[in-house]
Chain A
Amino acid sequence: AAPLSAVKSPFSTDEKLTSREDVTSYNNFYEFGTGKDDPAAKAKSLKTSPWAVKVDGMVGKPAEFAIEDLIKSSTLEERIYRMRCVEGWSMVIPWVGFPLADLIKRVEPLGSAKYVAFETAYRPEEMPGMDTVFPVLEWPYVEGLRLDEAMNPLAILAVGLYGETLPNQNGAPIRLVVPWKYGFKGIKSITRISFVDKQPATSWNKQAPSEYGFYANVNPSVDHPRWSQATERRIGEGGLFVKRRPTLMFNGYAEQVASLYTGMDLRKLY
């Protein structure tokens, strides 16, 4: 991991950080296996250099960005965000990245573009978790945001954490971070970003539509069909005797994002 310099951000929380050890050893990245420790153990095989992100679809200036150019040409910020997993645990992570909106402006989306679709690398030979008898998900992993969500200043493309480039298990070399949504929306190791006019397919929604919606906004009052979302366990807090804490609406980012969803029934559009 190479050091990255970043400026501080007013969007950062001052909550206690989850340790670097926990952030980089307890991961969901099913391309490397379904165990929480699989990504840290197996993601070394992913070759992150060279790496390009293709931006295409309904844009005036489609482009392919080499990751190092993207980092060099962006003002990197440290964003300390809460991360809430749909499984009911949470972390506080010091990401390093830049607003997704910056990239969007550079490629000049057309008026017809309504959504942004993301795609993870598809490399079975470097991603051992993809090669299972029953695929856990349909590969490659895909995610999406509505264009106005993507333009929200909280949405970032992260290229590092704890002041250094991303470890592979956290989605190197570039991943999405949308802190008001469940963690699975934060697609990792992105190779393609497309601007489209229809709501794009998203991996977990395809896998179990009744359990994972397109929006996946953190919402303590809408339970997952199989478990409650009212509370969460903060990783690294209290060890065996961790006390659950209440989950906050939009993961505590309601002030910045609630207006995106006015008039929407969040029970139906979960």
Chain B
Amino acid sequence: MAGRVSAPGAAKGFVLPQVPKILVYIVGFIPAVWLFYAGITDQLGADPMRYLEQALGLWALRFLIATLAITPLRQLFNVNLLRYRRAIGLLAFYYAALHLITYLVLDQGLDVAAIVADILKRPYITIGMATFVILVPLAVTSNNAAIRRMGGQAWARLHKLVYVAAIGAALHFILVVKSWPTEPLVYAAIVAVLLGYRLVRSLVKKPSPRRRAA
């Protein structure tokens, strides 16, 4: 372990103890295990299906936000969590998949007509479904073999889609509720800050020639 701690990112600032990546998955799946256990043992309140569905979706959004926080944490605070980003990103995908399965199976009872109508007619479902579709290629290529096959640049370009997914997830949450309660707005604001940070940084760091001319 001592050798690994002196990896380039961590060397400059403060040194984080490294944990095995498998621990990220184990901890990450605790909410899902608890939710299913509580659901089966009737501890999720009066509307357990809805609670499960919403909680899984919320965890997907939280993990998505966590992956987006890793770069700013490194650049601004010198905290390097890069080696856990793949695991956290995949957790976001797994939770999104569980959220979708809950909607398809428990909420809609696999009523294909109702589901298709939902996807076509309800903006929040259209957006939610599109967000999940975006996450699929990202999850499929979240391994070293895919990076080698695609080449680093193409892979990085593809994975920029996570920004679109984050916007989609935040919008999906805002559109599903009545009025403007605080919680979805707070999540949307966090996504906006994390994406806004990248935008600002890209403008400051290497302004395009056109911009410079103006």
Residue positions of A touching B, CB distance < 8 A: 21-22, 25-26, 30, 34, 36-37, 86-87, 89, 132-134, 136-137, 204, 207-208, 211, 223, 226-228, 230-231, 233, 235-236, 239-244
Contacts and interface: CB of A to CB of B under 8 A. Distances in A.
Given A134-B180, A226-B124, A240-B106, A231 B47 contact: no
A99 B50 CA distance: 34
A236 to B, nearest CB: 6
Interface of B: 39-40, 42, 44-50, 52, 106, 108-109, 111, 114, 117-118, 121-124, 175-183, 185
Describe B's contact surface by its main secondary structure. Answer: helix
Contacts of A243: 109
Given A87-B178, A207-B179, A25 B45 contact: yes
B49 A134 contact: no
Given A136-B181, A226-B123, A227-B122, A240 B45 contact: no
A126 B26 CA distance: 43
Contact of A133 (B106, B118, B176, B182): B182
B46 A36 contact: yes
Nearest to B186: A133
Describe A's contact surface by its main secondary structure. Answer: loop
Contacts of B47: 26, 36, 89, 233, 235
Given A89-B47, A240-B40, A228 B106 contact: no
B49 A25 contact: no
A238 to B, nearest CB: 8
Contact of B45 (A36, A204, A223, A244): A36
Q: Which of B45, B47, B182 has the most CB of A within 10 A?
A: B47
A175 B181 CA distance: 24
B180 A136 contact: yes
A231 to B, nearest CB: 7
A32 B46 CA distance: 18
B58 to A, nearest CB: 13
A228 B46 contact: no
Nearest to A21: B46
Given A226-B122, A228-B117, A241-B106, A136 B179 contact: yes
A133 B181 CA distance: 10
B159 to A, nearest CB: 31
A134 B182 contact: yes
B185 A134 contact: yes
B54 to A, nearest CB: 10
B55 to A, nearest CB: 12
Given A226-B175, A227-B122, A242 B180 contact: no
Contacts of A21: 46
Q: Which of B177, B178, B179 has the most CB of A within 10 A?
A: B178
Contacts of A239: 39, 42, 48-49
A20 to B, nearest CB: 11
Contacts of B183: 34
